[in-house]
């Protein structure tokens, strides 16, 4: 794998459009750094493309499994049915959601008597 690090450098010969090279130098663009950065991006993209191609069957298989059976984690999470939570509110019971004391009365009423 390629990493951003202090790598050993090698001199290479390149053929570049003369006008483009002159303009880059006039603009003080570091050609070696620019080429290296862009080449690293291209290499990573090609590695990703090849990895996806090499693993296409496995990816399709796991996606088909998930389509058939769902995600295991989704069955492990507690997700209450929103209708059962909002039922009393929907039906106009304004006391829904008010904490109750051990005797079933509004918790605030229970504590006021003591």
Would the pTM count as exceeding 0.75? no
Name the residue with higher pLDDT: 111 or 21.
Answer: 21
- Check residue 50 and give its pLDDT: 98
pLDDT score of 25: 96
At residue 1, does pLDDT exceed 60? no
Question: Token match 């951003």: residue?
Answer: 4
Q: 75 pLDDT exceeds 50?
A: yes
Burial-class residue 24 by CB neighbours within 10 Å (0-12, 13-18, 19+): middle
Distance, in Å, from the CA atom of 111 to the CA atom of 101, rounded to the nearest integer, reads: 8
By the 8 A CB rule, do 59 and 52 touch?
Answer: yes
Dump pLDDT digits (tens) for 42-70. 999 999 999 999 999 999 999 999 999 88
Hey, what are 52's tokens?
A: 């996806």
């Amino acid at each position: 794998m390629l990493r951003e690090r202090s790598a050993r450098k090698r001199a290479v010969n390149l053929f570049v459009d003369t006008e483009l090279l002159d303009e880059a130098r006039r603009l003080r663009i570091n050609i070696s750094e620019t080429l290296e950065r862009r080449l690293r991006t291209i290499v990573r993209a090609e590695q990703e493309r090849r990895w996806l191609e090499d693993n296409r069957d496995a990816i399709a298989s796991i996606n088909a499994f998930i389509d058939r059976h769902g995600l295991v984690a989704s069955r492990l999470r507690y997700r209450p049915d929103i209708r059962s939570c909002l039922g009393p509110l929907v039906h106009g019971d304004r006391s829904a959601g008010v904490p109750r004391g051990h005797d079933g009365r509004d918790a605030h009423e229970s504590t006021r008597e003591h």
